[in-house]
Structure 1
Amino acid sequence: MTNALMSVQIIPKTKNGEDVIPYVDEAIKVIHDSGVKYEVHPLETTMEGEMNQLLQIVADMNERMVEMGSPNVISQIKLLYQPSEISMSDLTKKYRDEEKN
């Protein structure tokens, strides 16, 4: 059962002011490899899953940034926890239906 939605924006510091996009791409790969449902948006990525699983994914993303050479990482997250179950489509269905009209 999915009990959480989490949006994450990861901001890795780069060693010599390099472009952060390769780091962000790698962070999204960590999400992809985790197997959770996710959607990439321009300023953040939203994931759907169990709360502890999503928190672990953010920890894994941060570790990967450090492995790539980032001396520190800021991770901004928004978390919706709903024990009775929640999905991205639950919150966006009416907007997707409007797009079809």
Structure 2
Amino acid sequence: MAIVNVSLQVIPNVPENQIYSVVDKVIEMIATSGVKYEVGPMETTMEGELDFLMEIVKKAQDICVSEGASRVCSVVKIDYKKEGVTMDEKISKYR
């Protein structure tokens, strides 16, 4: 399967002073998953096979709930093309 980019923004329904700690747990899970990723101010972008990245998205929901969120709103963006797409090809000229 082709390499794709998936961006994930989780918005856990927790008290405002707990939002960052819950999001940090999700980012920690992404970091330990072994996929290439980049944290941005509004979302985290990952690179890998779509099925594996979607499993990470599912786990992110579970983490938010296990950390006390009564509800989780998530925004997921997928950049896919048959021959694959990498973060480097899209942003290397800006680095």
Relative to the length of structure 2, the TM-score reads 0.91
Q: 2:86 is matched with which residue?
A: 87
SS state at 2:74 partner: strand
Q: 2:28 is matched with which residue?
A: 29
**One-letter amino acid matched to 2:38:** E
Cα deviations by residue, 1:41-89 (Å, 9 ceiling, x for unpaired): 1111110000111111010010011111111101101110123121100
Unmatched segments (≥5 aa) in structure 2: none
**One-letter amino acid matched to 1:6:** V
Measure, in 2, the Cα distance between the counterparts of 1:11 and 1:17.
Answer: 11
Residue correspondence of structure 1 range 1-101 to structure 2 within 5 A: 2-14=2-14, 16-96=15-95
| Runs of 4+ that moved beyond 3 A | none
How far off is 1:2 after superposition?
4.9
Count residues with an aligned counterpart. Answer: 95
**One-letter amino acid matched to 1:87:** T
Unmatched segments (≥5 aa) in structure 1: 97-101
Measure, in 1, the Cα distance between the counterparts of 2:67 and 2:46.
Answer: 23
Relative to the length of structure 1, the TM-score reads 0.86
How far off is 1:17 after superposition?
4.8
Measure, in 2, the Cα distance between the counterparts of 1:20 and 1:42.
Answer: 13
Percentage of matched positions with identical amino acids: 39
SS state at 2:18 partner: coil
Q: Greater Rg, structure 1 or structure 2?
A: 1
How far off is 1:93 after superposition?
2.0
